Each structure stands twice: as C-alpha cells, then as structure tokens.
Amino acid sequence: MAGGGFSKLPNGSVVVAITLSSPAQSVGPDTPVRVLVHAANRARALTRLRNLGLRAVYLRGNAEPPTPDEITAVLHHPDGVLWRARPERAQELWHPIRALLRPALPARRS
C-alpha cells in the first residue's frame, strides 16, 4: 500500500507526497519512490499523476505529509512534479518526473 499525505499552502494550493513502489525498471522493482506534486487541490494533483501514466494512485489519509524541505523542492521546480528513489536518504537529489517515466533505451549492439 502506498503511503502519502498532503500539505495545504497559504495560497490555497496543495503539495501531495506519495510513496510508491517504483514504476521504472532502472530504479529497481523493490525500491520505494517518493513522488511530490504541486497542484491547485488534491484531486488535481492525483489527476496529474494519473495523466503521466501512474494509474493506480490514491491518497488515503494524511499519514506521511511532505516535509518542509520537500515542499520547498517541488515549489522551486518548473514542472511541479518530482521524485526521489530512496525517501529515507536525504542525500539523493530530486529528479523531474520525466526521468522516471521515460522508456528505457534498448542496449546498442556493436
């Protein structure tokens, strides 16, 4: 089950944070991925993720809301959607969502 939560900002928008199993083979099948989304409301944040191909994304409760550092990261990113492979390790940098969802390039044969 995915864990997650949200924080409502003073301007009325929200930041949603969801921890999922990795949808990409390059990250690893057992590696959890923390995804952050900035949107006008929770429903639009989840719709943004579903439109990107993460179909089975639901937010039940507010058990794991985004930290202040996560909120700052997603607010300063132009797309407003970020991910990090190991949420418990703060040393890893945040990546744009297209880096997670792009198809793996086939190996070139020489």
pLDDT per residue as tens digits for the range 37-93: 999 999 999 999 888 888 778 888 899 999 999 999 999 988 899 988 866 666 778
- Number of residues assigned to the chain: 110
Reported pTM: 0.79
**Beta carbons within 10 angstroms of residue 105's beta carbon:** 7
